[in-house]
Amino acid sequence: MFTGRNILLGLVILILIAFTFLGVINPHRKPSKSQIDTLLVAQAIPKDEWIVEVVPPNGSLYGLMEKNGIPLPEIARVTFQFGDFIDVTTIQPGDTLKLKLTDDKQRIMKMSFIQEPTLRHLFTVTPDSLIYKEEQLPVKTVTKLLKGNLSGTLSNSLKEVGLPLQSAQQIINALETKINFRRNAKTEDEFQVLADLRYFEGKLIPGGKVYYVSYKGKSAGSHELFRYEDPSPKSVLTGLYGPDGKIVRSSGSGVGFPLASMHVRSKFGRRIDPVYGGWAMHQGIDYKAAMGTKTYAVADGTVIAASYSGGWGNQVRIRHPNGLITQHAHL
């Protein structure tokens, strides 16, 4: 009798399983209310149409755009105009590029370039130009006098008193023209720095101005640096000066600048050529300047050519005492 019951129970279970299975695989079965709600929510969430790329070490905007299948002529056009608004020498690893493309992925519609959390460059791309807008988020700035003693490297010592790396490097570059740190810097040398510290959402960010630097040591001697700020925001005259009123440069090459205000449109090196639309070696540095802007020799020398020269346009060539020849083109 128990055997009959077991057989009957087994048949009932098999029938229930069969109905359950048919219900699962039935394509005409109506979805439940919860399934419908989930589907509607998923459809309501818009897809992110922005391509987001981060500039890698030794990377470029050209490479990031080419990676996403954008045609080279389109890249050449947009990046060339991009240089009108942003000095390309300020592009650093870690900067973020955002792109919105047309449906066929052949043209750029909008572009955003973020250099730091508080500064965003927004572009609308038209067939013949870029429409530019800068977005600055609020930053808290605190001016502080920071004091410390040398312990290890000057870079680490400045970091320990709360100075960001960018400001510390500016100070090091300037002091290295006055002090042989390898030979004369000693532990317990004293330094003072008056600088702006910038905070965004409670975090220290770069970009603060350095107003004053003092460094004293038994072997290194006493040195002071003072900030001068030219009214022109991109003036080469803005920087740290010694008590003699001479600007302190980190390079000992004796080479100056060809313009009073600097804005680099295109660097020396490989790029996508704005005329031919393909990869090519750019043999110079392109500066942005208005018609009639004065240009200067970067060092003493003798003019050896002043003429029109094909693709270079109007050009001046100068030979310097060390044999180096500089060329000023597209004049």
- Specify the pLDDT at position 13: 58
Residue 95 near residue 114 (C-beta atoms within 8 A): yes
Q: Tell me what percent of the residues of the chain surpass a pLDDT of 90.
A: 46
Per-residue pLDDT at 205 exceeds 50: yes
Q: Which two tokens stand for residue 108?
A: 């750029």
Rounded average pLDDT over 310-327? 86
Residue with tokens 């060092």: 299
- pLDDT confidence band for 24 (50 / 70 / 90): very low
Q: Which two tokens stand for residue 133?
A: 């807008």
- Specify the pLDDT at position 248: 83
Q: Please measure the distance between the N-terminal and C-terminal CA atoms of the chain and give it in whole angstroms.
A: 110
Rounded average pLDDT over 287-315? 84
The domains of the chain, with CATH numbers, are 51-136 (3.10.450.350), 140-241 (3.10.450.350), 264-328 (no CATH)
- Specify the pLDDT at position 1: 45
Rounded average pLDDT over 16-37? 50
Per-residue pLDDT at 10 exceeds 60: no
Per-residue pLDDT at 117 exceeds 50: yes
Burial letters for 142-158: b for 16+ Cβ neighbours within 10 Å, e otherwise?
eeeebebebeeebeebb
- pLDDT confidence band for 7 (50 / 70 / 90): low
Taking only the tens place, the pLDDT of each residue in 239-274 is 899 999 888 865 444 556 787 777 888 878 888 888
- Specify the pLDDT at position 251: 45
Question: Which pairs count as long-range contacts for 240-244, CB under 8 Å and 24+ apart, including other chains?
Answer: 240/170, 240/171, 240/174, 240/210, 240/213, 242/178
Between CA 297 and CA 303 the distance in angstroms is 10
Query: Is the model more confident about 33 or about 210?
Result: 210
Q: Which two tokens stand for residue 7?
A: 């057989």
Q: Which two tokens stand for residue 166?
A: 């960018």
Torsion over CA of 269, 274, 275 and 276, rounded to 10 degrees?
Answer: 70
CB neighbours of 138 closer than 8 A, spacing ≥ 6? 118
Rounded average pLDDT over 120-146? 94
Query: Is the model more confident about 53 or about 33?
Result: 53
- Specify the pLDDT at position 281: 85
Per-residue pLDDT at 152 exceeds 60: yes
| Three-state DSSP state, 100 | strand
Q: Letter for the amino acid at 32?
A: S
Per-residue pLDDT at 279 exceeds 50: yes
Per-residue pLDDT at 22 exceeds 60: no
- Specify the pLDDT at position 16: 52
